[in-house]
A and B are shown apart, each in its own frame.
Chain A
Amino acid sequence: MTTTESSASAKAAATRFREVHEKVRTELHKAIVGQDAVIDSVLTALFAGGHVLLEGVPGIGKTLLVHSLGETLDLAFSRIQFTPDLMPSDVRGAEILVETQGGGHELRFQPGPIVSNLVLADEINRATPKTQSAMLEAMQERQVTIGERTIKLDEPYCVMATQNPVEQEGTYPLPEAQLDRFLLKVVVGYPKEEEYLRILNLTTGSTTEKLSAVSNGAEVLELRQTVRDVPVPESAQQHAVRLVMATQPDSEYAPELVRNSVSLGSSPRGAQALILAAKVHALLAGRYAVAPEDIRAVALPCLRHRVLLSFQGQADGVGADQVVAAVLEALPLPGEGL
């Protein structure tokens, strides 16, 4: 294969990525009004092979978005409504006693809703941490172990969890280990005024918009491979590493706000998330390699849930978004300000 041919294949893959992305996006907009950034973030997590945590007050379309995505991608979709009395076996599945034809009984494995392609964990922070932790193995290793049985989960596998703001009553904050397993945390805000009108027209009429499947699991896997192929130059890697290190209070790159208000910074998983999400961002920007700008563009959703505020930070009213903004300000782009 010559140089020209090889670059052509890369360009074609990138072009196809953008096309599919645009198709899915357009289809989703039939059901979701506005929320462009949220849709882009969800698709970024999907194509990067990660999971996404959607946070927002009730009634702003979080569940609808994930449900619509399942329909659009023609993927096996399951939903778990997390409640305080939900047990881990309700999530993972269990062996149940069934009656056989001969009148006997046997134990048969009944997989839980976690065994699917696209899992909507609705209001995940309403369940106890014990049940929340039941998803850890599935999210990280793409498998579920029940007793002596281990079930490999089908790819593409993506957990899209929604949660109410943790300040609400009857919620349990997610454990750090589970938060770290989400590639992105997307904060869903209220719609704009013109979007309200469209939402009302769309949802209160007699007709409902039917979503069609514009892609499928196989294509999503191909696009994930395309994303993985995007090279990351050393300068971009270095920038990602420094950003992650800057969230750690003991690091030399940490700004004053991080030193004072952060108890735990991002783990190396944060740097992985930055790079993967930046690859998607670079492809969508029409480039074939990741630039430091891509890293910075995805820094907020990638790092905001990996920063654990200290007691002093909470007392001072500092938010995780402020911390990430301070980190971005403290570390300028290479070549900036010279």
Chain B
Amino acid sequence: MSEGEPSQPTELGTLRADLERLSLKTAGGLSRARAMDALGRILPRVVRALWLPPFLGVGLALIGVSLPLGWLFLGVVLLGMGLVAWPALKEFLRPVGREEALAVVDQRLSLSGRFQTAGGYLDHAKRTPFIVAALEDACAWVRGAHGVDLVHPIEPLVPKRLAAHGGRAMFLMLVLLVLSPGPVQTRAQEFFQEVQDYLGTDEPAPLTEVATVPRDVPQATPLDDVQAKETKPAEPGSSADDEAGEVGEQEKESKGSTGQGRSAEANSASSNSSARGAPSDQAQPSKQPEKRAKKGKRQKAKPKRKEETRTRKTPEMSASTTGSGASKGSGRNPTASPWSSPEQAPVPDDSEIDEDEEIDDDEEEQESRGGIQPSMRDRRPPVSRDLRIGFGNRPSPDANGRGGPSQQKKSRGVASLVLGVPIPDRVKGRPGPGRTKVTQERVRPEAEQAPLQAARTGTARAHPEGHFPELDLDPWLRGMVRDYFRRLRETSSSKPN
């Protein structure tokens, strides 16, 4: 049916029923079409989402984590169905009004709003001649509209390519489902099980047992790390020389030659000489490794103390150890009483340990300044120091303010750079020249003699200039000007009218 073919006119009385029937018929089709349209919009996304479970399963399997693929697949399918069904249902249930339905019929049949107009004017109280004519005009078309199929063309919901995608995804999913083992215990679960088994024994392993743990055991877990820190006898990376040095020092300690049992003052006063004198038979290339070794030994000694307190109930086992560093730098004499007796065993004190470290740091600082310096803690005033200014009003000839009755000391080194050293001023000129004085004289102005300047002669243009062509700016210049004015407009508060 086209616009140029109206059917036989019907009565105005039946127009209402005809339009009602037409709108109901169209509304049903419209709801279905909308629902299908919503399906068509969402379904491709859901089909694409079907690739997610297989890819997720394969990806996680590659990194050693297995998922219940069946459940995942089922979840995605159910979620997708929900996502598809809800909008479609919403569109299907959305009410379609008569006017809307008639507008659709007008569009379908190219009636230029005839039915919509008739539907609007059917209940109009005051019908003008033109309204009646419009209603009659609609009557001429309504009969023909009943015979026309108003079903909306429904396009395939999922394009073929997309459907193939979905099929492939489902096939891959099925293959994975078949190939995957039944109940899978994840690696993480295994690991936690192992950890729990391991932690099942409350007591820590004995020291000797821990010491016999092979050093090349990989430190796989943080827990192992902690264990190793607690029971580590020596760093695996430390060299054999260190071990030899340790043994040597243990021997020295037993002889009392390492000076570790001395007081802090004594240690600070003579540590340098002892530090340098002791290694004469050890052929150490420099003092730095020695220092590092000493520090390492100190650090190692701390856990040892803890172990000792933990294992002092088994003296027969710890008898093989040397007991080095038990009272290092603490001012107590470890040899005064047998260390192995539980009553006399010193309780490790953190404050003492800190004090030790402070002294060591001082030594390090002094050494790092470029040489051994005398300890500043025990410095005393010089024997003779004359700081007197003078005798009465007369200045003392010997006083130099720098301690000691001696001549003026030459400055050298850093002291020479300090601004306190007088430097002769070499800037020439008169300091403070004073105000500028201007003298004014009352003089009568006189005319100067000068040649007259001839005016420029201008002539009229021979030909009219004509129309200037419109200035055609280069694109870049036009863009720049446009941007400038646009920014100018944006910043200005008033909007152009």
Contacts and interface: CB of A to CB of B under 8 A. Distances in A.
A247 to B, nearest CB: 16
A264 B489 CA distance: 16
A9 B129 contact: yes
B489 A311 contact: yes
Interface in A293-336: 293-294, 310-312, 315, 333-336
Contacts of B485: 311, 315
Contacts of A312: 486, 489
A263 B116 contact: no
A335 B128 contact: no
B497 A289 contact: no
A288 B137 CA distance: 8
Contacts of B496: 263, 310-311
A334 B137 contact: no
B136 interface: yes
Contact of B495 (A9, A10, A263): A263
A291 B133 contact: no
A7 B132 contact: yes
A190 to B, nearest CB: 21
Q: What secondary structure prevails in chain B residues at the interface with A?
A: helix
Nearest to B12: A3
A229 B128 contact: yes
Nearest to B111: A291
Interface stretch (B75-83, B101-109, B342-350): B101-109
A201 interface: no
Given A235-B103, A235-B116, A338-B33, A229 B129 contact: yes
B113 A231 contact: no
Interface in B117-137: 117, 120-121, 127-134, 136-137
Size class of the A contact interface (CB-based, 8 Å): 35 or more
Nearest to B137: A288
B112 A288 contact: no
Contacts of A14: 130, 133
Given A293-B113, A311-B489, A315-B486, A229 B497 contact: no
A264 B496 CA distance: 10
B112 A231 contact: no
B229 to A, nearest CB: 65
Given A231-B134, A312-B486, A315-B482, A10 B107 contact: no
A10 B135 CA distance: 12
A169 B99 CA distance: 52
A287 B467 contact: no
B34 interface: yes
B133 A233 contact: no
A335 B114 CA distance: 13
A72 B485 CA distance: 50
A59 to B, nearest CB: 18
A292 B116 CA distance: 10
Nearest to A295: B113
Given A7-B129, A291-B117, A335 B134 contact: no
B100 interface: yes
Contacts of A335: 100, 102-107, 116
B467 A169 contact: yes
A285 interface: yes
A310 B133 CA distance: 45
Contact of B116 (A8, A13, A233, A311): A233
Interface in A121-148: none
A229 B130 contact: yes
A335 B467 CA distance: 55
B112 A3 contact: no
A236 interface: yes
A234 interface: yes
A159 interface: no
A233 B113 contact: yes
A52 interface: no
A11 interface: yes
A6 interface: yes
B50 interface: no
Given A285-B112, A291-B117, A310-B496, A336 B107 contact: yes
Interface string A230-273: 11011110000000000000000000000000011000000000
Contacts of B129: 6-10, 13, 229
B322 to A, nearest CB: 86
B30 A338 contact: yes
Contacts of B482: 315
A230 B113 contact: no
A3 B12 CA distance: 10
Contacts of A233: 113, 116-117, 120-121
* Interface-centre pick from B128, B134, B137, B485 (highest chain A CB count, 10 A): B134
Interface of A: 3, 6-11, 13-14, 169, 229-231, 233-236, 263-264, 285, 287-289, 291-294, 310-312, 315, 333-336, 338
Closest 8 CB pairs of A and B: A335-B103, A291-B113, A10-B129, A288-B133, A6-B129, A289-B134, A7-B132, A288-B134
Interface of B: 12, 30, 33-34, 99-100, 102-107, 112-114, 116-117, 120-121, 127-134, 136-137, 467, 482, 485-486, 489, 495-497
Given A264-B497, A288-B134, A335-B103, 9 more contacts: A3-B12, A10-B133, A229-B130, A230-B130, A231-B117, A263-B495, A287-B137, A289-B130, A335-B104
